[in-house]
Structure 1
Amino acid sequence: MLALFPESAALDGADLTLGGLSSESLAEEHGTPLVVLCEETLRANARALREAVGDGRVFFGTKALPSVALLRLLREEGIGADVASAGELAFAEAAGHGGETLVVHGNNKSTGFLRKAASIGAPVVLDASDEAELAAAAGVEQVLVRVTLGVDADTHEAIRTGHHGSKFGLPPDQARAAVADALDRGLDVLGVHVHVGSQLEDFDAQAETIVRLAAFVAGCRDELGWTARVADLGGGFGIRHHPDDHVPDAAELARGAASTARLAFVEAGLPKPEVWLEPGRCLVGRAGVTLYRVGTVKRLPERTWVAIDGGMSDNPRPQLYRARYTALSATRADEQPGETVSVAGMHCESGDVLIDDVALPTPRRGDLLAVPATGAYTLAMASNYNGVARPAAVLVRDGSARVIRRRETIDDLLRTELG
């Protein structure tokens, strides 16, 4: 179980500690639900991925967890930011990013967003046939072209992006035309971008995509006289959310992606590209733990429901992707499991179930549950469903905790209401 938790997680008798602090003390001081992020794990993950890519670049997929403090920490470790909206760009700017430490995405970029990217000198990934014209008019100077090469990744359909008919990128013929259009407009076309999907559990789909990408670039060289200097391979490396998950180490996948791209380009008669990666989940996922307080325990003939003070408003992934999680009784960790239960959220939805089945010490009101591997796509996708305020987040290290996102209040929810 502890292998799913951050590197600083430990058991002190019955108590789970994170960053040298007891979970109960964190919950008492900051309330629940509470997202706890381990600085040690974040920095270790960043360094492993930077090393894996060699002389390439790594950009954090900001959508996984937009946080100024987190982006600043990752920037200290040499990690840039991949942003896909004006809001994400604002987070990155506030963290000190600009120009070459950014890459700008989006399948429907506004003129204002493109102008902002141009004003700070950030490269833009063209995602549609008319975006070269829009980017040039906005003053963008450097671009990449996103190409969709028809490889189906073995992941949930909602997070699969490299298949034919995807809303992202352009099929090869249209992508080649986009390269030509960008060149004609005087844009510096740095290279190409691909992404096959998220929560990838093996390298097969990405390897096939990289080989096809090299062939695409070779075709552009022959037809347009243009050669990509950058191969942006996206991200999507998976992590373990549940003890039954079998996922390779992200740094190994990153190293394999970088070396495969360099070899594929050379074998296609092309110079080695500068490899860019855009990992999100694998940088922050395991670093995060969400603490919940147990309320109602409802024992029915069919199952036992353990209700927590959060749910789909702070983690909608079980509903969106059938994501599986597990939980640890954070203050009774030395007790043997006494019951297999289902962990339900507090929302007015029958589908608001965080964990279908988990063995816990016989649950009771007031217990503290720790759900690991929640650093990615939880706070980022959190909502105010049922008028619930979003959780706080703290960064822990060496016995200290720093609030990096305060808990929302009811006043915050009412602030945008008029009349």
Structure 2
Amino acid sequence: MPAYTEAIEQRLLADPVFLADIADAVGGPFHVLFPERVALNIKAFQQVFAAADVDGFVYFGKKANKAACVVRACAENGAGVDVASTGELVAAMAQGVRGEDLMVTGPAKSDELLWLAARQRALIAIDALDELERLAALDLPVRVLLRVLPEGSTSRFGLDPMELEQAIQAVKAPITLSGFSFHLSGYDAAARSEQAAALLGHCRRARANGHPADTISIGGGFGVDYLDASAWDEFRNALSDNWFHASPPGDYYPYHFPVPGAAMLDAILAHNNLAELLRDNGIRLAVEPGRALLDRAGSSVFRVQGVKTRIAQGNPYDILTVDGTSLSLSEQWFDSEYLPDPVLWPHTTGHLTPTCVGATTCLESDLLSRRRIPLPRRARTGDLLVYPNTAGYQMDSNESTFHELPLPPKVVLRADADRLRWSLDHTAR
């Protein structure tokens, strides 16, 4: 199941020495990031807003990746950042994101986070009534959104109808009620459109009480298309337990997504004429994509440390041990599997070899790939294994220094006309 790749990544993999030079310099597993691709993804969302004549704003969901170069790309391309901790807030501002371009989300925010956010004029999504009380005690001008618990949701986040009514009545100067927000699980464009339309009534009611209420945030959940439809359909239709070492995963991310990223935003705005409703009511639509802004913006690289052969159902397959852990390929830690095929480097000829990939820890379950991937040749010690399109959540949402192994550093790759250049991301210095 080969993944879609960016042109700069294709140049990296085609170069006979460049990837090995980085690996030798770093001395262990590492992640490669392509910030120019982040900029393109931001612009794609902005272009959808412009084409629909909708006042819209893009906030990058920072939890999806810690790299400084990603946040710098946001600052340089007119996007804000969605943060949920003082560390994320400080890191975003250190890369040039202005306070008014920050969205502060998350439950039960600390007093320190609320104080910093208020001082920087960030937009704060209120998740509980006590947050309003603590903000009022600061006596600072601050903008808030009230996070609405969608009807029928069992989420622990958001304000139920009674709490929402109390919150609307409780907002008083110097706090400004800028609007409302919600988050939905899954990737249903129609559901997001309908929930946004439902919040228009809240905005009108808040305006009648003297509040600006000119913003609705629909959160994230914009799908990413990793694989073409035929590869994904073939996998799902022919799936067999025999394809995996030990037991197969319980569930999978939809690795083929027919209307991903900015195209999904377009579908949301088109459903039930949401774009027209937003224009008619003078409402700004905020979105908080994380994974979708990181689509094809990075890869993870591991060095092969060992190779052994096993036999199942009479068929041999290899198990590799690489110099990292599945904590750096986070899908494995949700009873799932990161399915896009890794690339074996360097490219040499050989025989198709079914291969699983294990980590360097002593845990039986620590496998980067339980699936027997059909590598184009047998891997050798010293080869590099490149997992594509891992910038969205995979790289560092679960990383750990277990076994006192260092965290894989992040490498920033940029392309000049005549050559590739790399540097360490600020987070790795």
TM-score range with shorter-chain normalisation?
0.7 to 0.9
Specify which of 240, 261, 274 is matched with residue 225 of structure 2: 240
Once the two structures are superposed, what CA deviation does each residue of 1:245-276 show, in whole Å capped at 9, x if it has no partner? 22123111123334559727839x97131111
Are positions 1:320 and 2:323 aligned together? no
User: How far apart, CA to CA, are the structure 2 residues paired with 1:331 and 1:259?
Assistant: 44
Change (3 A) 1:134 1:258: farther
Structure 1 residue 57, shift from structure 2 partner: 0.9
Q: 4+ residue stretches of structure 1 with deviation over 6 A? A: none
Structure 1 residue 74, shift from structure 2 partner: 1.8
Change (3 A) 1:2 1:327: closer
Change (3 A) 1:272 1:131: same
2:224–2:292 Cα contact (<8 Å) kept = yes
SS of equivalent residue, structure 1 residue 8: helix
User: How far apart, CA to CA, are the structure 1 residues paired with 2:321 and 2:337?
Assistant: 18
Are positions 1:74 and 2:88 aligned together? no
User: How far apart, CA to CA, are the structure 1 residues paired with 2:2 and 2:339?
Assistant: 13
Structure 1 residue 386, shift from structure 2 partner: 2.1
1:37–1:288 Cα contact (<8 Å) kept = yes
Structure 1 counterpart of 2:148, one-letter code: V
User: How far apart, CA to CA, are the structure 1 residues paired with 2:346 and 2:336?
Assistant: 28
Mean Cα deviation higher: 271-280 or 297-306: 297-306
User: How far apart, CA to CA, are the structure 2 residues paired with 1:59 and 1:306?
Assistant: 39
1:81–1:92 Cα contact (<8 Å) kept = yes
Structure 2 counterpart of 1:320, one-letter code: F
Structure 1 residue 4, shift from structure 2 partner: 2.5
Once the two structures are superposed, what CA deviation does each residue of 1:120-171 show, in whole Å capped at 9, x if it has no partner? 1112110112211111222252100111214xxxxxxxxxxxx622121112
Task: Give 1:48-67 correspondences, 5 Å limit.
Answer: 48-54=44-50, 55-67=55-67
1:343–1:353 Cα contact (<8 Å) kept = yes
Structure 2 counterpart of 1:7, one-letter code: A
Mean Cα deviation higher: 237-246 or 91-100: 237-246
Once the two structures are superposed, what CA deviation does each residue of 1:7-36 show, in whole Å capped at 9, x if it has no partner? 32226xxx8148x98422322232331111
Structure 1 counterpart of 2:283, one-letter code: P
Specify which of 229, 241, 251 is matched with residue 262 of structure 2: 251
Change (3 A) 1:7 1:180: farther
Change (3 A) 1:336 1:51: farther
Which residue does 2:300 correspond to in 1?
Answer: 290
Structure 1 residue 227, shift from structure 2 partner: 6.5
Any gaps of 5 or more consecutive residues in structure 2?
Answer: 233-254
SS of equivalent residue, structure 1 residue 97: coil
Any gaps of 5 or more consecutive residues in structure 1?
Answer: 151-162, 409-419
Are positions 1:173 and 2:162 aligned together? yes
Which residue does 2:352 correspond to in 1?
Answer: 338
Identity of counterpart residues, as a percentage?
A: 28
2:124–2:143 Cα contact (<8 Å) kept = yes
Change (3 A) 1:181 1:209: same
1:111–1:134 Cα contact (<8 Å) kept = yes
User: How far apart, CA to CA, are the structure 2 residues paired with 1:253 and 1:30?
Assistant: 38
Change (3 A) 1:145 1:403: same
Which residue does 2:251 correspond to in 1?
Answer: none
Which residue does 1:214 correspond to in 2?
Answer: 200
Which residue does 1:16 correspond to in 2?
Answer: 13
Specify which of 288, 294, 300 is matched with residue 310 of structure 2: 300
User: How far apart, CA to CA, are the structure 2 residues paired with 1:99 and 1:128?
Assistant: 22
User: How far apart, CA to CA, are the structure 2 residues paired with 1:237 and 1:343?
Assistant: 29
User: How far apart, CA to CA, are the structure 2 residues paired with 1:207 and 1:336?
Assistant: 51
Which residue does 1:143 correspond to in 2?
Answer: 144
User: How far apart, CA to CA, are the structure 2 residues paired with 1:186 and 1:238?
Assistant: 38
Mean Cα deviation higher: 328-337 or 130-139: 328-337
Specify which of 374, 378, 402 is matched with residue 359 of structure 1: 374
Structure 1 residue 102, shift from structure 2 partner: 0.8
Are positions 1:400 and 2:421 aligned together? yes
User: How far apart, CA to CA, are the structure 2 residues paired with 1:78 and 1:167?
Assistant: 32
Specify which of 364, 385, 399 is matched with residue 402 of structure 2: 385
Structure 2 counterpart of 1:363, one-letter code: A
Specify which of 349, 359, 362 is matched with residue 348 of structure 1: 362
2:223–2:264 Cα contact (<8 Å) kept = no
SS of equivalent residue, structure 1 residue 346: coil
Change (3 A) 1:110 1:21: farther
Structure 2 counterpart of 1:368, one-letter code: L
Which residue does 1:412 correspond to in 2?
Answer: none
Once the two structures are superposed, what CA deviation does each residue of 1:68-111 show, in whole Å capped at 9, x if it has no partner? 33211221011111110000001011112233211111201111
Structure 1 counterpart of 2:293, one-letter code: L
Task: Give 1:183-202 correspondences, 5 Å limit.
Answer: 184=172, 186-197=174-185, 200-202=186-188
Which residue does 1:106 correspond to in 2?
Answer: 106
User: How far apart, CA to CA, are the structure 2 residues paired with 1:67 and 1:9?
Assistant: 18
1:293–1:309 Cα contact (<8 Å) kept = yes
User: How far apart, CA to CA, are the structure 1 residues paired with 2:407 and 2:285?
Assistant: 37
User: How far apart, CA to CA, are the structure 1 residues paired with 2:176 and 2:168?
Assistant: 10
Which residue does 2:392 correspond to in 1?
Answer: 376
Structure 1 counterpart of 2:144, one-letter code: V
Which residue does 2:237 correspond to in 1?
Answer: none
Q: Give TM-score scaled by structure 2 length.
A: 0.82
Which residue does 1:417 correspond to in 2?
Answer: none
Structure 1 residue 313, shift from structure 2 partner: 3.0
User: How far apart, CA to CA, are the structure 2 residues paired with 1:261 and 1:333?
Assistant: 50
Mean Cα deviation higher: 206-215 or 185-194: 206-215
Change (3 A) 1:127 1:201: closer
Change (3 A) 1:328 1:23: farther
Q: May I ask how many residue pairs the two structures share in their alignment? A: 387
Structure 1 residue 397, shift from structure 2 partner: 1.4
2:300–2:388 Cα contact (<8 Å) kept = yes
Which residue does 1:42 correspond to in 2?
Answer: 38
